[in-house]
Chains A and B, each alone.
Chain A
């Protein structure tokens, strides 16, 4: 039906303008008469607002509108509605918004912020998950019981915002077997900042009684619905459009500053521009969460994993946000990769008085894969088996069960490991090393998923032979919108990809969509686009069959023509057929809708999960070689190889670009990106000077092999490719450094001071006393029992 391969590797249409500096991102939009906004943020991590008086600020020069909690009645959240737009009486994190001001200039808006009279009485603070879980810990949300529950099933209690569990089989029996070794490992990771180059930015206006929000987001429909909820207006009163986005990585997968601008636009009657400063982005970016992990396995001497249990604590910061949803992922990341006997896992989102965390490329998976792969190496060492042999014996294959009882189809990881062997063997033998550094290598596997969910698309056939694709998809840089989707439509209609016009997201024009992220664009939006294009194809072929006097089944669409199969040059141009169709029946269009039906878990196996099993598993095998300088602790990456399961590669070059970029971002996570929180509750890294992302000097070319042919329900067999490349980088580097140094790596990033401390045995073994020894003592509610 569709031959998108005919259009493989076609280049990005948005590149030339981006290279000329012409592309107008949200931060580049300036409307006539526009006001500039700024947000007053708390500078304490916990406190009660005893006085908030904006009257002096309102008299400041240029000020046109001020809004506070009184203007935004609603609460939002995922799973539970725990998050107001402005701090309402209580401050829960340093940086929490208190009020917003719009003025003629940004300087005036900022000056007026200082004239808001606010008094805050300090309240007790919990800054770490250990603090939050202590007996008698102060509650971040004392009224947690009163919050609206948006999705039932997660256990909650005190500072535990959400708890998701998996129980399959009898772990106690497995652990009590006489023929097993019990291996226990603990891990800790810090927060990672996305550092998307375009900060979160919005221009809002209030026109004809409706809000129009132009914003830098990955999720136009979420912005529409959540803004409406916060403002207490019907969702239909909000229209969201999205210019090109200057980097997302999950940062823009949630509501941010849009409602402030919307409220100010309504209050002032003028368009309002609000752009986060870099410091605001650094301090409140919805980081990849910090996490504490304990994992235990019962493994036979022959290398069979008969039982596994884990406790994963995920810091959600002051509000539940996406962490609530992400508790679901532990089942598939820690419970992935390997065949398991009995298993029990608990994944807990914990409230602390810190800036909220959010989604970040392969969220939850990056650190759980690090933990799982390091744990796997510790297992192999204990039972005296080569780690690669152990992996090969245990990786998930055809008909194997996942942690939630999902049955996997096809042997994928095994052949991918073979392919990695081939790649490694083909590499040049490294020269003899006599520089005194320590050398190590590791291979790490990873299991991820494509977040499917609903998408819609419309294809309008134009009489000039072009087609317009209308979706709510957003181009965030990955190329999915500029390359993959037009290729799918063009392949179906026999057009050149450049003849497919891609309409920018507009919630008034295109149907509902979950958003661009989770590797879902090519899959969900792609499937909707494919079916919309097929409807157009069917209609055109019908008209053409009359014009050409041939049965529709004998016709093909290619190179802008509809012809009798096997007779090139016969038939008519698509433009002629479209023109005739339009004259006879009206303009030709097609619509498509898609969602995954969802794979069920084994009955009774999961509790508190948003996704029971994974619709489209995606696998990756990474291999790297490192050199560790024993004097400085510096880790140099000498080679990096990736075998990635892509289902089918529609545009290999675009995928290669995503893999190189994702691996480098992962190297940052593994080696130097570290967000820490001071005793005052403030993030310490407030700019590029203090937060070190990889530079051109830090990187190396990644050797890439795309593994095609694994089963996928994605259109034309595709899977998402942009999310996965970062998944096992932390794992591969950590295992390689452990192999090089012979030390137990339990934390990331492996900054030079941390590596030196490991080498000098000055890094004490990680202990997590806030994780109870007995698995069940970590639960607020036993698995599967009702609230």
Chain B
């Protein structure tokens, strides 16, 4: 048996204990190490993935709850090997430092950009409160999001 879910378009099955946090299933069973378990408390956002389109900290979701869901991780956001608009903007703005928070940042900002193309600087700051970065002081990330929004 096992838990089946769709991850980045692939149907996958895991034999993990159903209470295992999704982030560990992704990393250990499927070798998708993009999502980072940093706080394991739902505060930092480094483990953020899209579950049925909603940004969700994967450290808080037991694998059983992801059963049958459509999951998209940072690894699945660069379509055909090309960075998506927010990834490209983050690269162009030289936003990345240690990079550990970025898998989660990219997931949250990809969602923001697709659902709220009219977002303002303050909306972006508010949307990022669930994604902590210890290195960059956020400014470049906000700049990149504005750039991505302004790019047709």
Question: Which residue numbers of A lie inside 8 Å of B, CB to CB?
Answer: 11-12, 14-16, 18-25, 27-28, 30, 194-199, 244-249, 277-278, 476-479, 653-654, 657, 660-665, 687-689, 693-697, 699, 701-702
Proximity bits, B130-152, A CB within 8 Å = 1, else 0: 01111111111110000000000
Which residue of chain B is the closest to A475 with respect to CB atoms?
Answer: B98
When the two chains form their complex, are residues B83 and A23 in contact, meaning their CB atoms are under 8 A apart?
no
- The answer to whether A197 and B36 touch (CB under 8 A), given A15-B90, A19-B106, A702-B137, is yes
**How distant is the Cα of A750 from the Cα of B14 in the complex, in angstroms?**
48
When the two chains form their complex, are residues A695 and B99 in contact, meaning their CB atoms are under 8 A apart?
no
When the two chains form their complex, are residues B135 and A247 in contact, meaning their CB atoms are under 8 A apart?
yes
Question: Mind listing 6 A-B residue pairs with CB under 8 Å?
Answer: A14-B99, A22-B75, A278-B39, A657-B140, A660-B136, A660-B140
- What is the distance, in angstroms, from A683's C-beta to the closest C-beta of chain B? 16
When the two chains form their complex, are residues A653 and B34 in contact, meaning their CB atoms are under 8 A apart?
no
Contacts of B65 in A (CB 8 A): none
Which residue of chain B is the closest to A245 with respect to CB atoms?
Answer: B98
- What is the distance, in angstroms, from A639's C-beta to the closest C-beta of chain B? 14
- The answer to whether A688 and B132 touch (CB under 8 A), given A21-B75, A696-B138, is yes
When the two chains form their complex, are residues A11 and B139 in contact, meaning their CB atoms are under 8 A apart?
no
- What is the distance, in angstroms, from B103's C-beta to the closest C-beta of chain A? 4
Proximity bits, B113-139, A CB within 8 Å = 1, else 0: 000000000001110110111111111
Which residue of chain B is the closest to A18 with respect to CB atoms?
Answer: B99
When the two chains form their complex, are residues A15 and B138 in contact, meaning their CB atoms are under 8 A apart?
no
When the two chains form their complex, are residues A699 and B137 in contact, meaning their CB atoms are under 8 A apart?
yes
- What is the distance, in angstroms, from A253's C-beta to the closest C-beta of chain B? 15
Max chain B CB contacts within 10 Å: which of A21, A194, A664? A21
When the two chains form their complex, are residues A477 and B132 in contact, meaning their CB atoms are under 8 A apart?
no
When the two chains form their complex, are residues A197 and B100 in contact, meaning their CB atoms are under 8 A apart?
yes
- What is the distance, in angstroms, from B60's C-beta to the closest C-beta of chain A? 13
- What is the distance, in angstroms, from B87's C-beta to the closest C-beta of chain A? 4
When the two chains form their complex, are residues A11 and B83 in contact, meaning their CB atoms are under 8 A apart?
no
When the two chains form their complex, are residues A15 and B134 in contact, meaning their CB atoms are under 8 A apart?
no
**How distant is the Cα of A249 from the Cα of B133 in the complex, in angstroms?**
13
When the two chains form their complex, are residues B40 and A278 in contact, meaning their CB atoms are under 8 A apart?
yes
- The answer to whether A661 and B136 touch (CB under 8 A), given A11-B94, A19-B87, is yes
- What is the distance, in angstroms, from B137's C-beta to the closest C-beta of chain A? 3
Max chain A CB contacts within 10 Å: which of B35, B102, B124, B131? B102
When the two chains form their complex, are residues A197 and B94 in contact, meaning their CB atoms are under 8 A apart?
no
Contacts of B91 in A (CB 8 A): 11, 15-16, 19
Contacts of A476 in B (CB 8 A): 98
When the two chains form their complex, are residues B74 and A21 in contact, meaning their CB atoms are under 8 A apart?
yes
Proximity bits, B21-50, A CB within 8 Å = 1, else 0: 000000110011111111111011010000
B97 lies within 8 A of chain A by Cβ: yes
**How distant is the Cα of A29 from the Cα of B100 in the complex, in angstroms?**
14
Which residue of chain B is the closest to A198 with respect to CB atoms?
Answer: B100
- The answer to whether A701 and B139 touch (CB under 8 A), given A20-B34, A20-B78, A246-B100, is yes
Main secondary structure of the interface of B (DSSP, over half): loop
When the two chains form their complex, are residues B136 and A19 in contact, meaning their CB atoms are under 8 A apart?
no
Contacts of A19 in B (CB 8 A): 74, 78, 83, 87, 90-91, 96, 99, 102, 106
Cβ-defined partner of A696 (8 Å) among B38, B90, B131: B131
- The answer to whether A688 and B100 touch (CB under 8 A), given A27-B36, A30-B28, A247-B134, is no
| Number of residues of chain B lying within 8 A (CB) of chain A | 54
Contacts of A479 in B (CB 8 A): 97
Contacts of B58 in A (CB 8 A): none
**How distant is the Cα of A196 from the Cα of B135 in the complex, in angstroms?**
8
Max chain B CB contacts within 10 Å: which of A12, A19, A661, A699? A19
Which residue of chain A is the closest to B40 with respect to CB atoms?
Answer: A278
Cβ-defined partner of A12 (8 Å) among B31, B96, B132: B96
Cβ-defined partner of A196 (8 Å) among B99, B106, B134, B136: B134
B63 lies within 8 A of chain A by Cβ: no
When the two chains form their complex, are residues B38 and A278 in contact, meaning their CB atoms are under 8 A apart?
yes
B71 lies within 8 A of chain A by Cβ: no
- The answer to whether A688 and B33 touch (CB under 8 A), given A18-B99, A477-B98, is no
Which residue of chain B is the closest to A197 with respect to CB atoms?
Answer: B100
Cβ-defined partner of A654 (8 Å) among B43, B75, B94: B94
When the two chains form their complex, are residues B101 and A12 in contact, meaning their CB atoms are under 8 A apart?
no
B56 lies within 8 A of chain A by Cβ: no
- The answer to whether A247 and B98 touch (CB under 8 A), given A21-B33, A21-B73, A27-B36, is yes
Which residue of chain A is the closest to B97 with respect to CB atoms?
Answer: A477
Which residue of chain A is the closest to B105 with respect to CB atoms?
Answer: A19
Total cross-chain contacts (CB, 8 A): 162
- What is the distance, in angstroms, from A65's C-beta to the closest C-beta of chain B? 21
Contacts of A689 in B (CB 8 A): 41, 43
Cβ-defined partner of B98 (8 Å) among A20, A197, A199: A197
Interface residues of B in 62-102 (CB under 8 A from A): 73-75, 77-78, 83, 87, 90-92, 94-102
Cβ-defined partner of B33 (8 Å) among A24, A245, A278, A665: A24
Which residue of chain A is the closest to B142 with respect to CB atoms?
Answer: A696
Cβ-defined partner of B129 (8 Å) among A12, A23, A697: A697
Contacts of B31 in A (CB 8 A): 30
Cβ-defined partner of A20 (8 Å) among B40, B87, B132, B141: B87
Cβ-defined partner of A695 (8 Å) among B40, B96, B129: B129
When the two chains form their complex, are residues A197 and B101 in contact, meaning their CB atoms are under 8 A apart?
yes
When the two chains form their complex, are residues A244 and B99 in contact, meaning their CB atoms are under 8 A apart?
yes
Give the 4 A-B CB pairs with smallest separation, nearest first.
A21-B34, A477-B98, A18-B99, A664-B137
Contacts of A277 in B (CB 8 A): 40
- What is the distance, in angstroms, from B81's C-beta to the closest C-beta of chain A? 9
**How distant is the Cα of A30 from the Cα of B24 in the complex, in angstroms?**
12
Contacts of B141 in A (CB 8 A): 696
Contacts of B37 in A (CB 8 A): 27
- The answer to whether A12 and B73 touch (CB under 8 A), given A18-B99, A24-B33, A247-B134, is no
**How distant is the Cα of A487 from the Cα of B21 in the complex, in angstroms?**
43
- What is the distance, in angstroms, from A519's C-beta to the closest C-beta of chain B? 15
Contacts of B28 in A (CB 8 A): 30
**How distant is the Cα of A475 from the Cα of B147 in the complex, in angstroms?**
27
**How distant is the Cα of A477 from the Cα of B95 in the complex, in angstroms?**
11
**How distant is the Cα of A278 from the Cα of B40 in the complex, in angstroms?**
8
When the two chains form their complex, are residues B75 and A20 in contact, meaning their CB atoms are under 8 A apart?
yes
Cβ-defined partner of A693 (8 Å) among B34, B35, B87, B132: B132
**How distant is the Cα of A19 from the Cα of B148 in the complex, in angstroms?**
15
- The answer to whether A195 and B41 touch (CB under 8 A), given A660-B139, A699-B139, is no
Which residue of chain A is the closest to B127 with respect to CB atoms?
Answer: A696
When the two chains form their complex, are residues B102 and A18 in contact, meaning their CB atoms are under 8 A apart?
yes
- What is the distance, in angstroms, from A673's C-beta to the closest C-beta of chain B? 11
6 extra interface residue pairs, beta carbon distance < 8 Å, beyond A20-B34, A699-B137: A19-B74, A19-B99, A20-B75, A477-B98, A688-B44, A697-B129
Which residue of chain A is the closest to B43 with respect to CB atoms?
Answer: A688
Contacts of A688 in B (CB 8 A): 39, 41, 43-44, 132
**How distant is the Cα of A520 from the Cα of B97 in the complex, in angstroms?**
18
Cβ-defined partner of A23 (8 Å) among B44, B97, B99: B99
Cβ-defined partner of B137 (8 Å) among A12, A248, A654, A665: A665
**How distant is the Cα of A479 from the Cα of B92 in the complex, in angstroms?**
15
Contacts of A197 in B (CB 8 A): 36, 38, 44, 46, 98, 100-101, 134-135
Which residue of chain B is the closest to A659 with respect to CB atoms?
Answer: B137
**How distant is the Cα of A358 from the Cα of B152 in the complex, in angstroms?**
48
**How distant is the Cα of A654 from the Cα of B94 in the complex, in angstroms?**
8
Which residue of chain B is the closest to A662 with respect to CB atoms?
Answer: B137
When the two chains form their complex, are residues B83 and A20 in contact, meaning their CB atoms are under 8 A apart?
yes
Contacts of A15 in B (CB 8 A): 90-91, 94-96, 99
Cβ-defined partner of A702 (8 Å) among B83, B87, B139: B139
**How distant is the Cα of A662 from the Cα of B136 in the complex, in angstroms?**
8
Which residue of chain A is the closest to B91 with respect to CB atoms?
Answer: A15
- What is the distance, in angstroms, from A130's C-beta to the closest C-beta of chain B? 32
Contacts of A665 in B (CB 8 A): 134, 137
Contacts of B40 in A (CB 8 A): 277-278
Contacts of B99 in A (CB 8 A): 14-15, 18-19, 23, 244, 246, 477
When the two chains form their complex, are residues B98 and A246 in contact, meaning their CB atoms are under 8 A apart?
yes
- What is the distance, in angstroms, from A387's C-beta to the closest C-beta of chain B? 27
